[in-house]
Amino acid sequence: MPAAGQHSRLNEMDTIISTVALHGTPQENLDLVRAVNRNCVCQFGLMGLRRTSCPAHLMLADDQRALDGLLFGRRIAAKLRAEEWLTRPPISVVRI
């Protein structure tokens, strides 16, 4: 038992709640759910209970950084593809 005034590290760890959210549009959320469903390899038992979770579902549950990266990549992809085919530098606008 910890001394007075000290916190038990185990109790602190027990109270941490992980919340992961996709900060995208409704369409982006729907597209992510569809992509996860297409790539799901979770294993289910005879009663329909999930025995193991696939990496795609684990990412949805535990990896905020990965979800943010997917959203960033999705939003910048068209710009990067367009820039790849530029034959001259883009014209920059100077504001005074």
> pLDDT per residue over 56-96, tens digit each?
999 988 999 999 999 999 999 988 888 887 767 666 767 77
Max intra-chain CA distance, the chain: 69
Q: What are the structure tokens assigned to 58, written together?
A: 């684990």
Q: What is the pLDDT of residue 54?
A: 93
Q: What is the pLDDT of residue 83?
A: 83
Per-residue confidence at 28, pLDDT binned at 50, 70, 90? very high
Q: Is the pTM of this model over 0.95?
A: no
Q: What are the structure tokens assigned to 67, written together?
A: 């979800």
Which residue is listed with tokens 């939003």? 75
- Is the pLDDT at 14 greater than 90? The verdict is no
- Is the pLDDT at 22 greater than 70? The verdict is yes
The DSSP letter of residue 84 is: H
- Is residue 16 classed exposed, middle or buried when 0-12, 13-18 and 19+ CB atoms within 10 A define those classes? exposed
